[in-house]
Amino acid sequence: MSITTRGRFIVFEGIDASGKSTQVNRLAEMVSAAGRKVHITAEPTTGPIGSLIRQAFSGRTPLDDRVIAALFVADRIDHLTNERDGILELLGRGIDVISDRYYLSSVAYHSSDIDMNWVVRANELSTDLLLPDLTIYLDVAPAVALRRLQSRAQQTDKFEVFERLSAAHNNYERAIELLGTRDNIQVISADGTLEEIAVEVQAVVNRSAGDVFQQAISTV
């Protein structure tokens, strides 16, 4: 008989242009180079509820903020349980899963309009199913994120974008103050170069989820 050890679930969080998708890919390369199977994913998903969320954001369907927050929870439950590439099933098969955003994004972003405790409670419907083994928050200064966004695309209203980034940054700080200890959220300064951040990410992963790179898996 052989035993399959559960995969590890690592989440990257941060405001736009904090470098999440870049570091998700870097970490996945490292995990893969260590001989482990890895799956990259993101929220909102590309599944049916994720599509509804995009539709809601397009402004075509006006919805109460609480409905949008609940859609994100539904999307996350689908992310965990769907038959195509549900996270719970992948982890059960010993595959590591790295996600660009998870429930902390909901807590940070929805709490500009709704009481944070309401958002946390609503999200328990999904976090009761799975909490990350490790959440890495890439802490970038809003001004640095704005510069990165401007080099990527033309911004029509610089002030408005800066305000939006600053509000998200503040809300993340509040969310981490509330949940950081309970949920193993590690903060990394993300103002530096890609390389500097990747080195920090590796150190945090080794420290917080050390067996990610060492654990041997045997499949049934």
What does the binding site for ligand ADP look like in residue numbers (CB under 6 A)?
14, 16-22, 148, 152, 193-194, 197
Q: Could you give the CA distance from residue 150 to residue 46 in angstroms, rounded to a whole number? A: 26
Buried b / exposed e over 102-116, threshold 16 CB at 10 Å, is: bbbbbbbbbbeeeeb
d(CA 138, CA 136): 6
CB of 57 to ligand ADP, least distance (A): 16
Smallest separation (angstroms) from ligand ADP to the CB of 169: 12
The pair of three-digit structure tokens given for residue 209, joined into one six-digit string = 């989820």
In the complex, the smallest distance separating the C-beta of residue 168 from ligand ADP, rounded to whole angstroms, is: 11
Task: Return the biggest CA–CA distance within the chain.
Answer: 62
Distance in Å, CB of 43 to ligand ADP, minimum: 12
133 or 139: whose CB is closer to ligand ADP? 139
CB closer to ligand ADP, 170 vs 215? 170
Min separation Cβ 62 and ligand ADP, Å: 27
Which residue's CB is nearer to ligand ADP, number 24 or number 122?
A: 24
User: Tokens 């969080």 belong to which residue?
Assistant: 13
Q: Based on CB atoms, which residue is closest to ligand ADP, 22 or 81?
A: 22
**Nearer residue to ligand ADP within complex by CB, 29 or 211:** 29
Residue 172: alpha-carbon gap to chain centroid: 12
Show the tokens assigned to 91: 């982890």
One DSSP character per residue, 114-126 reads S-HHHHHHHHHHH
